[in-house]
């Protein structure tokens, strides 16, 4: 947010001008909505002689730890689930060059163990953080939450793009097999679900803002 718009909003509110009028004036001056909203959002809709600032959410070390752990559990769960899907596909459609298959059962055990630990922990942390946001809606504006969400969206988008490129590359080369296609779809499903959920969450937050 730029200092001049902050000063303008504060001065306008001091003179009793409504937020709707301020927003309309700034739009006419070619300010963008994503620049206007944070400036107006600094002040509460409370009748008073001067603008009343909103309380800024405080990011505690505990909150940062919980969000970092939450997304770590998400990544572990996604990778472990993908590993299990690949194993099932390999068992269902064996490699023609290895008719008897060579399966690394230790990786399967590790994936199952990781899922048993990480996914319930992810759900539990999600419920704790959701409850905290419900008690104090300002916590939804946590910077670390937004940063980790956008990083997750970036990683998921990168996986989806790479997955589709790989699919198209093999399709153009005439090397598209059922086994390969199922693996590509598995990766696409996992990354797509993560991307879709967190994109939906961000849009819900924008609607409530």
pLDDT-based confidence at residue 73 (cuts at 50, 70, 90): very high
Residue 44 banded pLDDT, cuts 50, 70, 90: confident
Beta strands in the chain (DSSP E): 43-44, 52-53
pLDDT classification of 161: cutoffs 50, 70, 90? very high
* Residue for token pair 């298959």: 101
> To the nearest whole number, what is the mean pLDDT of the chain?
85
* Per-residue pLDDT tens digits for 96-132: 655 555 556 788 899 999 999 999 999 999 999 999 8
Buried b / exposed e over 90-125, threshold 16 CB at 10 Å, is beeeeeeeeeeeeeeeeebeebeebbeebbebbeeb
Angle between helices 3-14 and 33-41 (to 10 degrees): 50
pLDDT at 135: 82
Q: Answer whether residue 1 shows pLDDT above 50.
A: no
pTM value is: 0.72
Count, in order, helices (H) and strands (E) of the chain: 7, 2
C-alpha span between 170 and 189 (Å, rounded): 19
């Amino acid at each position: 947010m730029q200092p001049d718009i902050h000063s303008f909003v504060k001065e306008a509110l001091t003179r009793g001008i409504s937020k709707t009028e301020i927003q309309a004036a700034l739009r006419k001056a070619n300010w963008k909505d994503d620049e206007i909203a944070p400036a107006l959002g600094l002040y509460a809709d409370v009748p008073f002689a001067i603008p009343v600032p909103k309380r800024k959410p405080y990011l505690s070390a505990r909150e940062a730890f919980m969000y970092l752990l939450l997304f770590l559990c998400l990544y572990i769960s996604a990778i472990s689930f993908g590993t299990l899907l690949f194993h099932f596909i390999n068992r269902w459609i064996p490699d023609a060059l290895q008719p008897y298959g060579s399966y690394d059962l230790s990786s399967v055990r590790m994936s199952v163990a990781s899922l048993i630990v990480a996914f319930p922990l992810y759900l539990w942390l999600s419920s704790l953080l959701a409850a905290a946001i419900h008690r104090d809606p300002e916590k939804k504006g946590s910077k670390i939450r937004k940063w980790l969400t956008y990083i997750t969206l970036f990683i998921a988008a990168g996986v989806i793009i790479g997955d589709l490129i790989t699919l198209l590359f093999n399709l153009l080369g005439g090397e598209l097999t059922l086994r390969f296609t199922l693996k590509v779809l598995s990766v696409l499903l996992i990354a797509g679900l993560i991307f879709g959920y967190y994109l939906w969450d961000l849009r819900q937050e924008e609607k409530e803002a």
